[in-house]
Structure 1
Amino acid sequence: MDREFITARIPHRPPFLWLDRVLELTESAIRAETTVSAELDVFKGHYPDYPIMPGVLLCEAVFQAGALLIAETLRGKQDLQGVPVLTRILGAKFKREVRPGDLIEITAALKEQVGPAWFLKGGVQVGGKIAVQVEFACALKGGE
Structure 2
Amino acid sequence: MDEILKTIPHRPPFLFLDEIVEVREDGATCKRTIRSDEPQFEGHYPGNPIMPGVLLCEACFQAGAIYLAKQIEKEGRSLNDVTPVLSRIGEAKFKQMVKPGDEITIEVTMKETVSKFHFMKGKVLKEGKPALVIEFALAMLEE
SS at match of 1:137: strand
2:68 counterpart (52, 67, 70): 70
Offset at residue 51 of structure 1 (A): 1.0
Measure how far apart 1:49 and its partner are. 2.1
Instruction: Report the aligned-residue RMSD.
Output: 1.5
Would you identify which runs of 4 or more consecutive aligned residues in structure 1 move more than 6 Å? none
The residue number in structure 2 matching 1:54 is 52
Unaligned runs of 5+ in 2: none
Q: Which has the higher helix share?
A: 2
Shift of 1:107: 0.7
| Matched residue, 1:111 | 111
Unaligned runs of 5+ in 1: none
Tell me the SS of whatever aligns to 2:51: coil
Q: What's the TM-score once normalised by structure 1's chain length?
A: 0.92
Give, as a single letter, the amino acid of the residue that structure 1 aligns with 2:34.
V
CA–CA separation in structure 2 for the residues paired with 1:24 and 1:101: 23
1:48-81 deviation per Cα after TM superposition (whole angstroms, max 9, x unaligned): 1211000000000000000110010111444994
The residue matched to 1:24 in structure 2 has which SS? Answer: strand
Inter-CA distance 100–62: structure 2 relative to 1 (3 Å threshold) = same
Percent sequence identity is 48
1:33-55 deviation digits (Å, cap 9, x = unpaired): 01001111111111212110000
Paired residue total? 141
Q: TM-score, normalised by structure 2?
A: 0.93
